[in-house]
């Protein structure tokens, strides 16, 4: 593994950093305060080729590697955690399964619009009673002639209000052993019986579109099944493995932003006649923060490198997601501590970063699930 970024990777980093500084960061406070989804930002990201960054050029993507994509997610998340979450979800959860498991027609119809920015990618897995236990899915898909009829409810689904289609997991029958067979279906959002609402008041990542989906006798052509009907469960576990790399990268971006604010504040804030950054207690906090961020970034890049090299990466993706997410919460918390009373105020923005970071320990597999994945992998 090469720890030095390639010329192409540095170009992606610099481009996204500049875009984030000019287009994303100036809106971050307003987006958080109002909960508004910054649709115009995503249109520009589509124009830049960011929404299809790791997708092959034949489908409207940029053909970049996973390391470049992780770098891009980090830079977007550094500017705004909510924007970073919707970006990561669109690519990792919405576009990737279409690329990995879709047929050519499905890729042309549903993947290309995501890459070009006409649509966002969205993945409907979680249900009110099926979160960590994804196998407990209650949504059903029943074949009726040439169509599947889908009924069920999904919660906390990212981007669905801005997606032309959502990939929905549903029970499609029984396996020989009596367990439910879960398949994935591409469900256009305009269909009769498909209701999308955003009823949530969230702690953080408030600028990300989080929706509830209700499907009542929604009919889709049977050719809208995604991948192997018998392997839907395995397909979405593979999708989540890749998604965990992007959540790790997003956590690193949020943590880096909080660290940078704390470091600058420590240079300016005076107590007892000195900058607080001259006190060893603050220096040690900053040293720990810098070390943990770099460790997490290296872990994210290793998982991404393994994925690019077509090597097993499940364990390393879980390492990266678990460590980076818990690290981000610690770093943001310490950033507030260094800011003191100012850190508790919205004006300094680090309290927003802590609120955004907390979701990284929950979404795309909780910290507890990551430890379970790692335990099984090291078996």
| Catalytic residue list | 364
b (16+ CB within 10 A) / e for 305-344 = bbbbeeeebbbbbbbbbbbbbbbbbbbbbbbbebbeeebe
Q: What is the DSSP code (8-state) at residue 130? A: B
Element containing residue 216 per DSSP (H, E): strand 210-221
Distances (CA, A) of 53 to 91, 114, 115, 160, 260: 8, 11, 8, 20, 27
Contacts of 318 (CB under 8 A, 6+ apart): 241, 244, 365, 370, 373, 374, 377
With contact defined as beta carbons under 8 Å apart, do 239 and 93 qualify?
Answer: yes
Question: Could you tell me if residue 49 is left (phi over 0), alpha (psi between -120 and 50 degrees) or otherwise beta?
Answer: left
Contact (Cβ atoms closer than 8 angstroms) between residue 169 and residue 183 = yes
Phi/psi of residue 191, each to 5°?
A: -70, 150
Q: Give the SS3 label for residue 357.
A: helix
8 Å CB contact between 319 and 325: no
Distances (CA, A) of 113 to 32, 52, 130, 191, 346: 27, 10, 29, 18, 37
User: First and final CA of the chain: distance in angstroms?
Assistant: 25
Are 157 and 212 spatial neighbours (Cβ–Cβ below 8 Å)? Answer: yes
The answer to whether 354 and 329 are in contact (CB under 8 A) is yes
How far is 146 from 257, CA to CA, in rounded Å? 51
């Amino acid at each position: 593994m090469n720890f030095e970024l390639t010329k192409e990777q540095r170009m992606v980093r610099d481009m996204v950093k500049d875009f984030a500084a000019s287009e994303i960061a100036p809106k971050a406070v307003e987006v958080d305060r109002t909960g508004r989804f910054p649709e115009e930002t995503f249109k520009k990201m589509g124009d830049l080729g960011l929404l299809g960054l790791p997708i092959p050029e034949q489908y409207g993507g940029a053909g970049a590697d996973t390391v470049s994509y992780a770098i891009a997610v980090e830079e977007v998340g550094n500017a705004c955690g909510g924007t970073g979450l919707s970006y990561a979800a669109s690519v990792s959860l919405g576009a990737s399964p279409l690329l990995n498991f879709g047929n050519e027609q499905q890729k042309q119809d549903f993947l290309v619009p995501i890459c070009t920015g006409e649509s966002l990618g969205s993945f409907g897995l979680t249900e009110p009673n099926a979160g960590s236990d994804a196998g407990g899915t209650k949504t059903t898909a029943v074949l009726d002639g040439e169509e599947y009829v889908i009924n069920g409810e999904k919660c906390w689904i990212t981007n669905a209000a801005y997606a032309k289609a959502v990939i929905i997991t549903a029970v499609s029958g029984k396996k020989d052993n009596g367990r439910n067979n879960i398949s994935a279906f591409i469900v256009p959002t305009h269909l009769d019986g498909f209701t999308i609402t955003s009823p949530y008041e969230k702690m953080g990542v408030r600028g990300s579109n989080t929706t509830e989906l209700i499907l009542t006798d929604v009919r889709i052509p049977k050719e809208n099944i995604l991948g192997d009907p018998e392997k839907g469960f395995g397909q979405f576990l593979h999708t989540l493995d890749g998604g965990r790399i992007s959540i790790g990268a997003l956590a690193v971006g949020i943590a880096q932003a909080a660290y940078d604010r704390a470091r600058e504040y420590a240079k300016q804030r005076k107590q007892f006649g000195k900058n607080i950054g001259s006190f060893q207690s603050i220096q040690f906090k900053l040293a720990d923060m810098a070390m943990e961020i770099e460790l997490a970034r290296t872990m994210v890049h290793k998982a991404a490198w393994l994925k690019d090299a077509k090597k097993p990466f499940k364990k390393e993706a879980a390492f990266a997601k678990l460590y980076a997410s818990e690290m981000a919460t610690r770093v943001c918390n310490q950033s507030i501590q260094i800011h003191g009373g100012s850190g508790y105020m919205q004006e300094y923005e680090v309290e927003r970063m802590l609120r955004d970071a907390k979701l990284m320990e929950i979404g795309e597999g909780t910290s507890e699930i990551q430890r379970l994945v790692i335990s099984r992998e090291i078996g």
